[in-house]
Amino acid sequence: MNQACVRASALADWRSTLLKSNGRFTTWRRFIDEINFLLAGDPPKIDLVTFVDLVERIGRASGDSSLAWSIGQSTRYSLDGDFGKAILGCKTLGSTLHYLSCYFPLVQDASFLKLEVNDGWARLSYKILNPGIWPRYEDAMYSLGIYGRLIKTAAPDAWPFAQLTLETEAGRIRPELSALVQAEILYGGNANSIRFPASALDARLNLAPDCGTEILNRLSRELTRKTRSIPLSERTRRMIYTEIDDGGVSQERIARALGVSSRTLRRRLSSEGLSFQALLDECRMQFAALEFRTRRRLSLSDMALKLGYSEHSTFSRAFSRWAGMAPREYRRTLSAHQECVRVI
């Protein structure tokens, strides 16, 4: 995968909160120094792996499962610049979340933010499209905190009916989190999401002056330039990770989403020395490794079906070629390592 980045303003949110925690300044000093070093580098982008690792370490040091959520709820910096003007200048919550999803690739790479409406419910889903970035609980709670603040500001009466889903399993989180967030929380999901009544999308949300078409056009041009700068193989890989949870990754559907024909997709991937099947197999194995780390109760047969293999044996052979060991052996080795780390 190409290096993925996130806007540096995200770390500015975290620094602001840590600086206000006077009672624990000694605890936060090393993290504040680390953030200052990163922000002094080459803003406005920071490596996504570095960001997620840093906020995970801050979260563990705090011992507070709701810290990241609180930082997201009080964000000042993440919705700045033209991006912030476009998001906050919308008249309704629905248009705000629409533009937030549309222009999200400008603030964070290798991730998706998707708004769906079905049967009277709206769902805003967020996920990093790199299975190697794990754990990512703090990043998820920080992001959902930002989105939750928008929903609660526009439609406070809808929030008691909201439901959060986290990729993380329940054992990672303190039980009081649901009371702190004031919403039901489900664990072990395919993505991090907030579900809320779709009627809230019509709620008024004027947090800034109307940005006008000039800013929207500028953002659209920037998004087009950025998309075109990403190799087609990387865009294909990200689309596969977006769809892989459904088990039915389709080359035709992905080509259509990328704006090319299946034939053109094959030809252009070939020019990069790749094939769609090779990319699909690579993504399946990387995703399987993530599932083994995070879903201990998932059977190998269910894993195979989830990844789109019609036969369990086909998945086992493919995984053995990739990992150098059978899936069951890989799972036992991983479990032994995790137990060792836990003891240490």
Q: Please classify residue 4 by burial: count the beta carbons closer than 10 Å to its beta carbon, then call 0-12 exposed, 13-18 middle and 19+ buried.
A: buried
Is pLDDT of 297 > 90? Answer: no
- Sorting pLDDT into bands at 50, 70 and 90, what band is 338? low
Q: Residue 186 pairs with which residues in a beta bridge?
A: 165
Contact 73, 17 (CB under 8 A): no
Reported in sequence order, the residue ranges of the chain that DSSP labels E, i.e. its strands, are 5-7, 45-47, 111-118, 121-128, 163-165, 184-186, 192-197
Q: Render pLDDT for 313-329 as a digit per residue (tens, 0 to 9).
A: 999 999 999 999 999 99
Residues in Cβ contact with 340 at an 8 Å cutoff, skipping those fewer than 6 apart: none
Lowest-pLDDT choice from 17-21, 58-62, 168-172, 312-316:
168-172
What is the maximum span of the chain, computed from C-alpha positions, in angstroms?
61
Which of left, alpha, beta for 91 (phi over 0: left; psi -120 to 50: alpha)?
alpha
Give the span between the Cα atoms of 271 and 107, in whole angstroms: 29
Q: Which domains does the chain have, with CATH numbers?
A: 65-202 (no CATH), 231-343 (1.10.10.60)
Q: Render pLDDT for 93-108 as a digit per residue (tens, 0 to 9).
A: 999 999 999 999 999 9
